[in-house]
Amino acid sequence: MSAVRRLFKDLNANKAMLLMVLPATVWFLIFSYLPMAGLVIAFKEYRYSRDGFLASILNSAWVGFENFKFLFSTNDAWIITRNTVLYNVVFIVLGLLLAVGMAIVLSEIVNKKLAKVYQTGMFLPHFLSWVIVGYFVFSFLSFDRGVLNQLMEALGLERTQWYADPEPWPIIIVLVNLWKSVGYSSVIYLAAITGFDKSLYEAAMIDGANKWQQIRRITIPLLIPIMTIMTLLNIGRIFYADFGLFFQVPRDSGALYSVTNVIDTYVYRGLTTTGEIGMSTAAGFYQSIIGFLLVITSNYIVRKINKDNALF
Amino acid sequence: MLAVTKKNRDFHRISPVGNAIFHAIAGLFTFACVFPFVFVIIISFTDESTLARNGYSLFPEKWSLEAYRYILLTGEQLFRSYGVTIFVTVVGTIVSMVFIALFAYAISRKSFKYRNFFSFLAFFTMLFNGGLVPTYIVVTQLLDLKDTVWALILPMAVNAFYIMIMRTFFVTSVPDAIIESGKIDGASEFRIFTTLVLPLSLPGLATIGLFSTLGYWNDWFNALLYIDDPGLVPLQSMLMRIENSMSFLLQNTSNASINAGILQSLPQDTSRMAMVVLATGPIVLAYPFFQRYFIQGLTIGAVKE
């Protein structure tokens, strides 16, 4: 049988399945793979052409690594990389400590009904959009009406223009992010703790271990594999920032860019405000490549530790 | 020994003091998580002039329903945006679930010869992407979706991570034997999928459906990029646009009778907060009932086949 006939026979045999994957495959080609091909813009001086998408890309002149050179010659590349990575490092470390701590606290609370209520409350922020969170933050930080300024005035301090003063923002950003994410991630650890073998604790009890010792010697060591996995996966995403957090919460305030500009917001502003299409794509490319390498590396490490938990 | 421990079940328990401390920690954090929402509700019921005088307060001197009355009378944009959000959420979730379930089911079947190829096709998008600018150019220039409702639906329709969750669900909860029995009875692949597989996969579908619903309801990013037409602005995006002034709302109100006098007495702050409450209300009210599925989905997502 010729190869072509064999192919047709195979295709025919898998006809139903091929039809099933068709819609999402078309979607992937258009919304994921075509943009990957569109990364060539990073090496071009992009000019919009009236004749459409392909013509725009084809008619733009090649400029080699000019866009990258320009990006890295400015201070921006350094600031956005530093902000993105540093914030993520802080989120990973504090997020892990708080989520695990909260999961242990919830698992030890005697009144299970109340523990459930706590969990439901902590999970709430995860369901709100960053726009809404931006409003919440504003109700605390607004110059003339915000609670924080009212409190400061009551204490005899000066009101602060929070949205114009970059200094406190690293702390505000971190607090808001933890507020939104800790309840969500503690669910994963809590689910793991509930699955632990209860007889381990009983044995420890009989040996006279108090609760604190049980947490330190049983719960935490048992949680370490999942903690490692979650952390490594987060490290794989260290080059990506949550756009909403850095755009909505500081209300896109220009005065705060030095501490709130991350790669994602930089790319967005390059596209919409400054019109630096080529450089913006170059920044996005830089993010995708480093992000890709980090995911591959962290997954490789996860695989070494525990094959079941690896992403691939 | 055993009798003693059986009698007082303090066995696993922490001391009363420790328990109290744990309650305090969990209680405080829970309070911090819920409080801002309650606070915004209070602000929305505050009298505007009280607010102008005293700022946002937990115990306003004077309560008022003015903000909600104002929205009912002039909030055409809000209702319009509500409509857009509901439409996008319903259609988007249906499209997502159909695309994702079909794809995930096909790659979960061992009999599908090209399953590895298509799994990789989906999976690779989790590792590498073209980024914002090329995606933007594809959507606006190739597909010409700017200022259409599809710009709010299609870019979020498929998600490789949900496909992985769903595939795991099919593999673990649909026994091969059932599919075989369907084949023996002469059912087509589609018939097997719709009448045998889907009913067994309801919890998985519910999880994906809820994730999608929440994603569409809360989305503002696509509107920020692709929507200029006020008639197509979804809720979250509308809230974002009126953040600093009510001008957006006023521009898009066909109620021409609003005169300068009313303009001056607009309940600005309170009605913005009332809109926040109205836009978030459905999610906040519904989520305790669906939380179980989210938690299920979260934990499934962490486990592989």
Task: Tell me what pLDDT residue B301 has.
Answer: 59
Residues 274-293 of A with CB under 8 A from B: 277, 280-281, 284-285, 287-288, 291-292
Task: Tell me what pLDDT residue B250 has.
Answer: 46
Residue of A nearest to B96 (CA): A24
Across the interface, whether the CB atoms of A125 and B33 are under 8 A apart is answered: yes
Residue of B nearest to A200 (CA): B12
**Which residue among A111, A130, A271 places its CB closest to the CB of B132?**
A271
Q: Judge whether residue B12 has pLDDT over 70.
A: no
Domain annotation for chain B: domains and CATH numbers: 77-302 (1.10.3720.10)
Across the interface, whether the CB atoms of A30 and B138 are under 8 A apart is answered: yes
- B97 — contact with chain A (CB < 8 Å)? no
CA of B274 vs chain A CAs: smallest distance (Å): 11
Mean pLDDT of B65-93: 89
Provide the 8-state DSSP code for A44.
E
d(CA B177, CA B184): 10
SS3 B63: strand
For residue A227, list chain B residues with Cβ-Cβ distance below 8 A: none
Across the interface, whether the CB atoms of B132 and A264 are under 8 A apart is answered: yes
Backbone angles phi and psi of A61, in degrees to 5: -75, 145
On average, the pLDDT of chain B sits at 84
What residues does each domain of chain A span?
65-132+166-309
Residue burial B158-167, b: 16+ Cβ < 10 Å; e: rest? bbbebbbbbb
Across the interface, whether the CB atoms of B135 and A31 are under 8 A apart is answered: yes
Number of neighbouring beta carbons within 10 Å of residue B176 = 11
For residue B133, list chain A residues with Cβ-Cβ distance below 8 A: 38, 41, 267, 270-271, 277, 280-281, 284
**Angle at Cα A165 formed by Cα A164 and Cα A167, nearest 5°?**
155
Condensed to tens digits (0 to 9), the pLDDT of residues B165-195 reads: 899 889 888 888 888 888 898 888 889 999 8
Determine the residue among B133, B140, B273, B303 to mutate to test chain A binding: the one whose Cβ has the most chain A Cβ atoms within 10 Å.
Answer: B133
d(CA A126, CA A133): 10
Condensed to tens digits (0 to 9), the pLDDT of residues B110-131 reads: 889 899 999 999 999 988 999 9
Tell me the C-alpha to C-alpha distance, in Å, between residue B290 and each of A186, B129, B285.
18, 32, 10
Provide the residue type at B22 as one letter. Answer: F
At A178, list the tokens: 């933890």
Greater model confidence, B14 or B246: B14
Backbone angles phi and psi of B234, in degrees to 5: -75, 170
What are the helix (H) ranges across A1-74?
A: 3-13, 15-28, 34-37, 53-59, 66-73
**Which residue among A110, A150, A187 places its CB closest to the CB of B19?**
A110
**Which residue among B51, B130, B218 places its CB closest to the CB of A38?**
B130
Task: Tell me what pLDDT residue B300 has.
Answer: 66
Task: Tell me what pLDDT residue B49 has.
Answer: 83
Per-residue pLDDT of chain A (312 residues; tens, 9 = 90+): 688 888 888 888 888 899 999 999 999 999 999 999 989 888 988 887 777 777 888 888 888 888 898 888 888 889 999 999 999 999 999 999 999 999 999 998 888 899 999 999 999 999 999 999 999 998 899 887 888 988 888 898 888 888 889 999 999 999 999 999 999 899 889 988 988 888 888 888 888 888 888 888 989 999 988 888 888 888 888 999 999 999 999 988 888 999 999 999 999 999 888 888 888 999 999 999 999 999 899 888 888 887 776 767
CA of A167 vs chain B CAs: smallest distance (Å): 23
Mean pLDDT of B229-249: 75
- A55 — contact with chain B (CB < 8 Å)? no
Categorize the per-residue pLDDT at B243 as very low, low, confident or very high, splitting at 50, 70 and 90.
low
Task: Tell me what pLDDT residue B86 has.
Answer: 96
B137, B226, B158, A286: CA torsion to nearest 10: 50
Sequence-ordered list of residues with C-beta below 8 angstroms from that of A270, at least 6 positions apart, any chain: A276, A277, A279, A280, A283, B133
- B31 — contact with chain A (CB < 8 Å)? yes
d(CA A23, CA B282): 31
Residue in A165, A175, A179, A170 with CA at minimum distance from that of residue A84 = A170
Task: Tell me what pLDDT residue B234 has.
Answer: 94
Fold of the A65-132+166-309 domain: MetI-like fold (1.10.3720)
Tell me the C-alpha to C-alpha distance, in Å, between residue B152 and each of A130, A269, B180, B242, B264.
17, 20, 40, 19, 35
Task: Tell me what pLDDT residue B100 has.
Answer: 96
Number of neighbouring beta carbons within 10 Å of residue B122 = 26
Number of neighbouring beta carbons within 10 Å of residue A196 = 14
Q: Judge whether residue B297 has pLDDT over 60.
A: yes
Residues 56-75 of B with CB under 8 A from A: 56-57
| Least confident among A149-163, B256-270, B276-290 | B256-270
Helix H or strand E encompassing A45: strand A44-45
For residue B283, list chain A residues with Cβ-Cβ distance below 8 A: 127-128
Could you tell me if B95 and B153 are in contact, meaning their C-beta atoms sit under 8 angstroms apart? yes
Q: Judge whether residue B143 has pLDDT over 50.
A: yes
Could you tell me if A277 and A46 are in contact, meaning their C-beta atoms sit under 8 angstroms apart? yes
d(CA A60, CA A58): 6
As separate numbers, helices (DSSP H) first and strands (DSSP E) second, chain B gives 18, 0
Size of interface A-B (CB pairs under 8 A): 281
Q: Judge whether residue B8 has pLDDT over 60.
A: no
For residue A270, list chain B residues with Cβ-Cβ distance below 8 A: 133
SS3 A174: helix
For residue B279, list chain A residues with Cβ-Cβ distance below 8 A: 132
CA of B23 vs chain A CAs: smallest distance (Å): 7
Sequence-ordered list of residues with C-beta below 8 angstroms from that of A243, at least 6 positions apart, any chain: A264, A265, A268, B221
- B279 — contact with chain A (CB < 8 Å)? yes
Determine the residue among A22, A36, A131, A246 to mutate to test chain B binding: the one whose Cβ has the most chain B Cβ atoms within 10 Å.
Answer: A131
Mean pLDDT of B85-104: 96
Residues 85-124 of A with CB under 8 A from B: 102, 105-106, 108-111, 114-115, 117-118, 120-124
| Least confident among B67-76, B86-95, B96-105 | B67-76
Q: Read out DSSP for A265-279?
A: HHHHHHHHTS--HHH
Q: Judge whether residue B2 has pLDDT over 50.
A: no
CA of A118 vs chain B CAs: smallest distance (Å): 6
Task: Tell me what pLDDT residue B7 has.
Answer: 41
Across the interface, whether the CB atoms of A118 and B26 are under 8 A apart is answered: yes
**Which residue among A135, A145, A243 places its CB closest to the CB of B55?**
A145
Q: How many residues does chain B have?
A: 305
Across the interface, whether the CB atoms of A187 and B240 are under 8 A apart is answered: no
SS3 A61: strand
Determine the residue among B9, B12, B30 to mutate to test chain A binding: the one whose Cβ has the most chain A Cβ atoms within 10 Å.
Answer: B30
Mean pLDDT of B20-41: 93
Provide the 8-state DSSP code for B142.
I
Residue in A268, A240, A271, A78 with CA at minimum distance from that of residue B129 = A240
Across the interface, whether the CB atoms of B132 and A267 are under 8 A apart is answered: yes
Across the interface, whether the CB atoms of B121 and A25 are under 8 A apart is answered: yes
Categorize the per-residue pLDDT at B261 as very low, low, confident or very high, splitting at 50, 70 and 90.
very low
Across the interface, whether the CB atoms of A52 and B113 are under 8 A apart is answered: no
For residue A134, list chain B residues with Cβ-Cβ distance below 8 A: 240, 243
Determine the residue among B5, B10, B29 to mutate to test chain A binding: the one whose Cβ has the most chain A Cβ atoms within 10 Å.
Answer: B29
Task: Tell me what pLDDT residue A100 has.
Answer: 95
Q: Judge whether residue B4 has pLDDT over 50.
A: no
